[in-house]
Chains A and B, each alone.
Chain A
Amino acid sequence: MRRMVSESRRSQLLRGVLDLCLLAVMDEGPAYGYEMTKRLRERGLSIVGEGSIYPLLGRLERDGLVETYRAASNGGPPRKYYRPSSAGRLALALGVSEWRAARDAVDAVLAPVKVEVA
């Protein structure tokens, strides 16, 4: 029960910043869908339970925050690569700033709380 509540909260927290995370990992270098999932997982961010990244990538594309092109991937089939557009980089910068402000404010509130997990 406790685990379910914890996963639900984590899911809700991630939902608001997953677009920023995607923009951030593709800002490191153009990437296709699965590649982005791998980059997120390498940083400990598994998207299980958060739904798929594909609709989110679609939204970023629709909003003009990413540019796409097709290219072969390590001898494999051509893949659709994503990279942030100039609008996407601006959105990333603003989003990161908002995230840090929100994180610091929440930390200030939660910092005094003593946590004892049985």
Chain B
Amino acid sequence: MSDFVEQCRGEWKRLGVPDPLAEEMAADLASDLTEAEAEGVSAEELLGSSVFDPSSFAASWASERGIVPVPPGRGNARRRPLVLVAFTTVAAIALIVSALLLATGQPKLTLATSRTTPAGTSRSVVHSVSAAAPVEWILLVLAIVALGFAAWLWASSGRSRSPTAPA
């Protein structure tokens, strides 16, 4: 079990927990584990599933004590929904705009083609207007792909939000 305590100590050092506090927590943990072992109580009975993840355990303990601000990853997890909402909104707007452009035919995006005459000096520009300009189709396809990606991100985000330490 000293391995577990050492791994916790390493995690506290990495997180910047002040040495006296890290030593205090490590000493308390080591004493409890030693006493439990002497009484035939397994580390898992004392620590629960945390025994398999010393880094998370150490980070959670330090965070709950208010020694370190937030365990790595939690901040990102909080920001992620906002980024996802923004991304999904932009993709949805792109989809609606492109669909409206294609459906109404207004306004038209103009494709310009330049052609040089054999004479060489004069140039005529031909504007062609199509009912469904490629740019609008590209925007539509990109929006659909983006929405699909956003849906996948939402699903992944929901799966990764599972309960861990006691509340």
Cβ A52 vs Cβ B46 within 8 A: yes
C-beta contact mask, A5-36 vs B, less than 8 Å → 1, else 0? 00000001011101100000000000011100
C-beta contact mask, B24-64 vs A, less than 8 Å → 1, else 0? 11011101100110000000111111100000010011111
- Compute how far the CA of A110 lies from the CA of B35 in the bound complex, rounded to whole angstroms: 41
Q: Select the stretch in B108-116, B123-131, B137-145, B159-167 that faces chain A.
A: B159-167
B167: nearest residue on chain A (CB-CB)? A15
Q: Is A67 an interface residue (CB 8 A)?
A: no
Cβ A51 vs Cβ B49 within 8 A: yes
Between A14, A33, A51, A77, the greatest number of chain B beta carbons within 10 A of the residue's beta carbon is seen for A51
Q: Is B78 an interface residue (CB 8 A)?
A: no
Cβ B48 vs Cβ A51 within 8 A: yes
Which B residues are CB-close (under 8 A) to A50? 48, 166
Which B residues are CB-close (under 8 A) to A46? 45
C-beta contact mask, A35-62 vs B, less than 8 Å → 1, else 0? 0010001000011111111111011011
Q: Is B158 an interface residue (CB 8 A)?
A: no
- Beyond A15-B166, A15-B167, A32-B28, is A49–B64 a contact (Cβ under 8 Å)? no
Which A residues are CB-close (under 8 A) to B66? 58, 62
- Compute how far the CA of A73 lies from the CA of B44 in the bound complex, rounded to whole angstroms: 23
Cβ B32 vs Cβ A59 within 8 A: no
B45: nearest residue on chain A (CB-CB)? A48
Cβ B49 vs Cβ A55 within 8 A: no
Q: Is A80 an interface residue (CB 8 A)?
A: yes
Which B residues are CB-close (under 8 A) to A112? none
Q: Is B79 an interface residue (CB 8 A)?
A: no
Which positions in B face A, CB cutoff 8 Å?
24-25, 27-29, 31-32, 35-36, 44-50, 57, 60-66, 163-167
Which positions in A face B, CB cutoff 8 Å?
12, 14-16, 18-19, 32-34, 37, 41, 46-56, 58-59, 61-62, 73, 76-77, 79-80
